[in-house]
């Protein structure tokens, strides 16, 4: 489905680490953090060993705990909601904007209002079971889906009005911009992720960015077994984790950061080839980039099939032609452990479910040749229309 874009000099940067005594907690981590901080204009950047780890630490650093409500989206990769379950907080899902698949701010405003007022109106928004009605809304957790930022002007206004924190899941969106502002910096803290299918990679890894000293200091301490500044190796001020990133990964990340703009541009070009060719295929909708997205960062290229087409059947017809594809995303609320714990059912978030049922992620990377895009597009045309 994707291929990382790694140069010989980046390979050499990783190999060079093996010739030093520092395989963890050394100069590469510091350099990588500095490069991410300066790229997005953050006061702090803290590298961790996955995007999930970064989100989890932010949830803890923001003081979100047992029984707290966090308003978030079911149209995401499961990790964005799982990190709330790790802390026994309650994800309160609202449906998404049909065009972008990002959390719908007008629903966020309604749910926050209702939950603050309590009573039957609040009950309407809470899951059927597993959520105490005594919780308090602490935060909003929007996801920048597929590399397109959510609508932060609206979300920030709501957060300000109700004294909420915003944790931006920008795991799919490094390099994106919202009204000129860098993704990751649109809330109180943001998290990037660097699995090999991402815009840039550290093999496994992530970075938390924030302008807030307290959040960043807690995240930094908790990623390293809870050691606060000044603690010795066996002193642990906080309950922490081993969420450290290795020097090998940091070296790869630091060198990839040097060409992040170019990496995003290459993906943009491939996305352009797809959209140009698929514009002629009526049964397929291509991804929409909305006006507030001043730079789309193209994590994946996801098409939507026309109503009535069967996702599994089209995927099968593509596979027969040697083209892999994936439904993307599978709604979080319908994952077995979510519906078991909270009683979610099909029909609870219709836009998310419709997008989940009609979306197919196509093979995509910045190094994909134009002829491969051409081949995939012809395969799609055949799959949806019969031979062209
Ligand atoms: C929206 C979203 N959140 C969180 C994550 C988790 O990142 P990681 O796989 O690095 O833990 C991902 C990764 O794919 C993601 O797409």
Fill in the DSSP letter of residue 258: T
pLDDT at 218: 98
Mean pLDDT by 10 residues, the chain (388 residues): 95 98 97 98 98 98 97 98 98 98 98 93 93 93 98 98 98 98 98 97 98 98 98 97 98 98 98 96 96 98 96 97 96 98 98 97 97 98 80
Given CA atoms 125, 107, 288, 41 in this order, what sign does their dihedral have?
negative
| Alpha helices (H) along 44-151 | 51-61, 79-86, 105-117, 119-125
Residue 327: how many other CB atoms lie within 10 Å: 16
pLDDT at 133: 86
Separation of CA 171 and ligand 1 centre (Å): 5
The closest-lying atom of ligand 1 relative to the alpha carbon of residue 52 is 11
Q: Is 197 left (phi over 0), alpha (psi -120 to 50) or beta?
A: alpha
**Residues with C-beta less than 6 Å from any ligand 1 atom:** 50-52, 76-77, 79-80, 143, 169, 171-172, 193, 195, 206
Separation of CA 52 and ligand 1 centre (Å): 6
Give the largest Cα separation in the chain, rounded.
68
pLDDT at 119: 87
CA distance 108 to 345: 20
Separation of CA 279 and ligand 1 centre (Å): 30
Query: Which residues have C-beta within 8 Å of that of residue 243, sequence separation ≥ 6?
Result: 48, 49, 50, 53, 54, 56, 57, 222, 223, 224
Q: Which two tokens stand for residue 378?
A: 């012809």
Q: Which two tokens stand for residue 368?
A: 């994909």
Residue 281: how many other CB atoms lie within 10 Å: 19
**Closest by Cα among 299, 297, 301 to 285:** 301
Ligand 1 pocket test: which of 1, 47, 51, 201 has the largest number of ligand atoms within 8 Å of its C-beta? 51
CA distance 189 to 44: 10
Hey, whose CA ends up nearest to atom 7 of ligand 1? 51
pLDDT at 64: 98
Separation of CA 195 and ligand 1 centre (Å): 8
Separation of CA 332 and ligand 1 centre (Å): 13
Separation of CA 387 and ligand 1 centre (Å): 37
Ligand 1 pocket test: which of 79, 190, 302 has the largest number of ligand atoms within 8 Å of its C-beta? 79
Separation of CA 79 and ligand 1 centre (Å): 6
pLDDT at 387: 53
Whether the model pTM is above 0.95: yes
Ligand 1 pocket test: which of 75, 143, 172, 184 has the largest number of ligand atoms within 8 Å of its C-beta? 172
Provide the 3-class DSSP secondary structure of residue 159. helix
Strand partners, 209: 45, 190
pLDDT at 6: 97
């Amino acid at each position: 489905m994707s291929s990382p874009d790694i140069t010989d000099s980046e390979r050499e940067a990783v190999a060079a680490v093996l010739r030093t005594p520092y395989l963890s907690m050394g100069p590469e981590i510091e350099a990588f953090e500095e490069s991410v901080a300066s790229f997005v204009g953050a006061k702090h950047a803290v590298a961790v060993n996955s995007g999930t780890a970064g989100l989890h630490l932010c949830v803890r650093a923001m003081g979100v705990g047992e029984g707290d409500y966090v308003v978030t989206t079911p149209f995401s990769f499961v990790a964005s909601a799982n990190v709330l379950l790790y802390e026994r907080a309650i994800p309160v899902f609202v449906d998404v904007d049909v065009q972008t698949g990002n959390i719908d701010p007008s629903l966020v405003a309604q749910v926050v209002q209702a939950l603050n007022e309590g009573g039957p109106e609040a009950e309407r928004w809470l899951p059927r079971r597993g959520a105490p009605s005594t919780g308090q809304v602490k935060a909003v957790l929007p996801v920048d889906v597929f590399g397109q930022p959510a609508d932060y002007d609206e979300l920030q206004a709501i957060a300000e009005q109700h004294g909420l924190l915003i944790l931006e899941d920008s795991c799919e969106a490094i390099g994106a911009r919202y009204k000129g502002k860098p993704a990751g910096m649109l809330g109180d803290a943001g998290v990037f992720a660097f699995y090999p299918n991402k815009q840039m990679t550290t093999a496994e890894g992530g970075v938390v960015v924030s302008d807030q000293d307290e959040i960043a200091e807690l995240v930094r301490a908790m990623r390293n077994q809870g050691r606060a500044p000044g603690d010795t190796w066996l002193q642990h001020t906080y309950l922490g984790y081993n969420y450290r990133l290795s020097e090998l990964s940091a070296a790869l990340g630091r060198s990839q950061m040097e060409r992040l703009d170019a990496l995003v541009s290459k993906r943009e070009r491939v996305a352009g080839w797809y959209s140009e060719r698929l514009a002629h295929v009526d049964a397929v909708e291509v991804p929409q980039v909305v006006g507030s997205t001043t730079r789309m960062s193209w994590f994946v290229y996801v098409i939507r099939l026309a109503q009535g087409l069967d996702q599994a059947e089209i995927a099968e017809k593509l596979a027969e032609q040697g083209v892999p594809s994936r439904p993307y995303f599978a709604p979080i609320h319908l994952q077995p452990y979510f519906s078991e714990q909270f009683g979610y059912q099909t029909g609870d978030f219709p836009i998310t479910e419709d997008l989940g049922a009609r979306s197919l992620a196509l093979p995509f990377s910045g190094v994909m040749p134009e002829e491969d895009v051409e081949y995939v597009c012809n395969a799609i045309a055949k799959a949806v229309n019969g031979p062209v």
